Amino acid sequence: MLGILIRLLVTALAALLTAYLLPGVKLQDFTTALLLAIVLGLLNLIVKPILVILTLPVTVVTLGLFLLVINALIVLWASSLVKGFKVDNFWWALLFSVVLSIISSFMMSLGPEDRVD
């Protein structure tokens, strides 16, 4: 349970930093970033697997690059669900998803390692 909370906080902080770096993305405050992290997590948990299965032939033909399009569509959908979060267009959503992944991965790597002894 603590791991999920840490992941949500890291994603919220990464979203704030990403929105600060990208002029085509607006994020109101930390509360909105936290809500965005929850919505993105739920969309990635429920909707993304369905989209991946439905678009499997396209994903195979593009050698997996179509997954970036799916991520951008999920970000656009999240921007329509979360008030205070706005993405100007598809390209900003695509860039937001890539930068958010990089920043959150980097931030998670700074934390303690999960080891099973």
Work out the mean pLDDT of the chain and round it to a whole number.
94
pTM recorded for the entire structure: 0.90
Say if CB 5 and CB 34 are below 8 A apart: no
More confident residue, 38 or 115: 38
Contact 102, 21 (CB under 8 A): no
One DSSP character per residue, the chain reads: -HHHHHHHHHHHHHHHHHHHH-TTEEE--HHHHHHHHHHHHHHHHHHHHHHHHHTHHHHHHTTTTHHHHHHHHHHHHHHHHSTTEEE-SHHHHHHHHHHHHHHHHHHHHHS------
pLDDT in tens, 77-110: 999 999 999 999 999 999 999 999 999 999 999 8
